[in-house]
Structure 1
Amino acid sequence: MDLNAQYQRALHNKHFEPDPAQLSALKYFQALSTRLQQPVRKSWTTQLRKKFGRHQATQRGLYLWGDVGRGKTWLMDMFFDTLPLDKKLRLHFRHFMLEIHDELTQLAGHRDPLLIVARHFAQRARILCLDEFYVEDITDAMILHRLLDALYIQGIALVFTSNLAPAELYKNGLQRERFLPAIKLIETNADVIRLDGNTDHRLRKLKQTHTWFSPLNTASERAIEQRFNDLAAGTVLVDTPLQINHRQITCLRRADGIAWFHFYQLCHGPRASADYIELARRFHTILISGVPGMGENEEEWTHRFVDMIDEFYDRRVKLLITADNEPIYLYHGRRHSFDFQRAISRLMEMRSNDYLSQAHRP
């Protein structure tokens, strides 16, 4: 189906009005789709580019940025799903970087391992869509210029979604001057599009379902316990440790495809994004008890909580929570206020019938 027709059908099904900024961005996606469907011509200039490392992509990509809830991921996924290519990849940026670091470990000792990694991606995809492009780790920042350069040399078109303009990426990060060439590379090889507007489309979804219980009291715990009992099937394991990436996480209860944790077990201690990715792979439904209010003294908890919500949202995990308050009132610090706005928007969407009706993406 044509991309614009798919967009109009989605609006009709959800009873939404067209968004002018989305329609404008859609034209860029449609143009890229058309270009990618043209026959690939392996000219001598293409071969020279790959041999000598010219910094211009075969296909100009897109960099779509804007506030939370504006529909960036939705538009990219619609583009990806309607693109009639076999060689295409869509990854959350965090998953992408984990894959990169894993392969670099395997290629230790090789000359120019990032070029080898890029060649491997070129065997799998002519276009790579990266959702939630956000750089905060210095290890990622230091290799991104060379990595993106290698991908572009291989002729891979890149599509990014982000909450930040390219020039704002890794702002105030350590050794940022070494990251600046990556920004220049993106701006050179992608149309940078801002998705303007004040509407958070996640908040106008269908009616909310009762999956969030606050405040933290006996009634909330009884309610979430009843939800677990309603959802669990087969054998139920109680207070058993779960092995995740060589670390144990105590699980209050778990059954086939469903697990119930205390917030402390998930967001306190040595937890990493890879842990949340693995949990999202194993369980289609996760219940969390005891989510507290968070502020300046709980910044590490906050950081992990936001990471966790990102992963669960991306994999369409069904989430039930008991918390101190509604999402909008949970965080009262400053350091993570920008990221927590994204978490709030996603938590609200994750309570909707529309989200809950979507299939798990293990």
Structure 2
Amino acid sequence: MRQTLTEIYDARVAEGTLHADAAQRALLPLLETVRAGLEAPVAKPGLFGRFSRQRPEAVRGLYLWGGVGRGKSMLMDLFCEATRTPKRRVHFHAFMQEIQAKLHEARKSNVQDALKPVAEEVAASVRLLCFDEMQITDIADAMIVGRLFQTLFDLGVTVVTTSNRVPEDLYKNGLNRQLFLPFIEVIRDQLDVQEIESETDYRQHRLQGAQVYFHPIGRVASEAMNALWDELTGHDETTRLVLNVKNRDVVIEHFHNGVGRASFWDLCGRMLGPGDYLAIAGAVRVLMVDDIPHLSSSNFNEAKRFVTLIDALYEAKVRLICSAADEPERLYTEGEGSFEFERTASRLREMQGAEWGAERAG
């Protein structure tokens, strides 16, 4: 028998996999309405079916916004898992990177309007798009996003998305923002905009006062990292986060609801640059980095990349959890670059603060 989203939520609370939250529960009927519209039988073509619309109309979607850790992604995942329709759940940043890559390929064929076939390709495979963390920071995305989504809606695609910002604050103070404003109208026209107001910030609550820097590398540090990972992800299955940066894939092997995890060598042992680290910092709220070694002239290039990574995470207010060979001040004590590393060590100390990243809301 089909369970409602509220019944699924209550069952998970009863079994202890979710904490009851009145603000979260109040939003479930809105998601249930979207689900019911998507699962409703589609009328079959009649006598003149060949002239009929090829796809059902888009169901009015939902734009769920609020501060970090309010449970937005959890609610969207619950909805997405339970809804029986062709669907895709994807981080918004990763989706837009895919769209830009497809547009680049489409333009090679000298098509008059590259966006239309790209949108049609998306609409051919899904009826529901679930986006995590809608945000616009790139001018290239800002210039196309309004027409892209209007085309998707016209093709019958329904969107449910989370965001840390009210629609009017998307791409705030961005270059040529007046060209972006029609997208806000599209959101308001096609999606119900709803704030989730909860006194509980689960992600910050879980980390508040917790140790987030573990040394030396070894069994104890590894067990502590694994325990925090399980706590932050709720023991849920994780996915790979794939970010397309200048037509290259930058991969975080383990990712769930804004929390990413990778080893030092995955992040700094490969030839990644500032743009790659900025993309990672924009895509995660919490990053766990395993096994940071002692740094010296023997791994100078890796050390330089680590400094760039920390700078990107610091500026983006990303919560950092890591295991390392030593305390920050003793990670890099000799060789070229050791003096400059003092700033990185200072930032690593600051990022261990209980409130670090709490103010990041978008």
Would you say same fold, with TM above 0.5?
Answer: yes
Q: Is the 8 A contact 1:224 1:321 kept in 2?
A: no
Q: Percent identity?
A: 29
Q: Is the 8 A contact 1:127 1:158 kept in 2?
A: yes
The residue that corresponds to 1:134 in the other structure is: 135
Q: 1:71 to 1:337 in 2, by over 3 A?
A: closer
Within a 5 Å distance, the mapping from 1:1-362 to structure 2 comes to 1-14=3-16, 17-41=19-43, 58-85=58-85, 87-108=86-107, 109-203=110-204, 212-213=212-213, 220-223=215-218, 227=222, 259-261=263-265, 269-272=273-276, 276=280, 286-287=289-290, 289=292, 301-304=310-313, 320-322=322-324, 324-325=348-349, 327=351, 329=353, 338-339=359-360
TM-score, normalising length: structure 2: 0.65
How far apart, CA to CA, are the structure 1 residues paired with 2:204 and 2:166?
23
Q: Is the 8 A contact 1:57 1:189 kept in 2?
A: no
Please, what is the CA RMSD of the aligned residues? 4.6
Q: 1:137 to 1:224 in 2, by over 3 A?
A: farther
Q: 1:42 to 1:166 in 2, by over 3 A?
A: farther
How far apart, CA to CA, are the structure 2 residues paired with 1:129 and 1:275?
20
Q: 1:11 to 1:205 in 2, by over 3 A?
A: farther
Q: Is the 8 A contact 2:103 2:114 kept in 1?
A: yes
How far apart, CA to CA, are the structure 2 residues paired with 1:198 and 1:328?
23
How far apart, CA to CA, are the structure 2 residues paired with 1:15 and 1:258?
25
Counting matched residue pairs gives 287
How far apart, CA to CA, are the structure 1 residues paired with 2:210 and 2:353?
19
Q: Deviations over 1:51-95 (max 9, x none)?
A: 9xxxx962100000000100000000000001122x111110011
**Which consecutive unaligned segments of at least 5 residues does structure 2 have?**
227-244, 252-260, 295-306, 329-347
3-state SS of the aligned residue for 2:274? coil
Q: 1:81 to 1:306 in 2, by over 3 A?
A: farther
Q: 1:145 to 1:72 in 2, by over 3 A?
A: same
How far apart, CA to CA, are the structure 1 residues paired with 2:120 and 2:138?
24
3-state SS of the aligned residue for 1:329? coil
Q: Deviations over 1:209-264 (max 9, x none)?
A: 97x325xxxxx234489639x99xxxxxxxxxxxx987999xxxxxxx97434987
Instruction: Tell me how far 1:23 sits from its aligned partner.
Output: 1.6
The residue that corresponds to 1:254 in the other structure is: none
Q: Is the 8 A contact 2:66 2:163 kept in 1?
A: yes
Q: 1:265 to 1:331 in 2, by over 3 A?
A: farther
Q: Deviations over 1:292-336 (max 9, x none)?
A: xxxxxx9985445687969x9xxxxxx74346337463998xxx9
**Which consecutive unaligned segments of at least 5 residues does structure 1 have?**
215-219, 232-243, 250-256, 292-297, 313-318, 343-362
Instruction: Tell me how far 1:174 sits from its aligned partner.
Output: 0.5
Q: Is the 8 A contact 2:208 2:355 kept in 1?
A: no
Q: Is the 8 A contact 2:38 2:59 kept in 1?
A: yes
Q: Deviations over 1:1-37 (max 9, x none)?
A: 4311211122223375532221221111011111111
Instruction: Tell me how far 1:192 sits from its aligned partner.
Output: 0.3
Q: Is the 8 A contact 1:273 1:307 kept in 2?
A: no
3-state SS of the aligned residue for 1:159? strand
How far apart, CA to CA, are the structure 1 residues paired with 2:53 and 2:172?
31
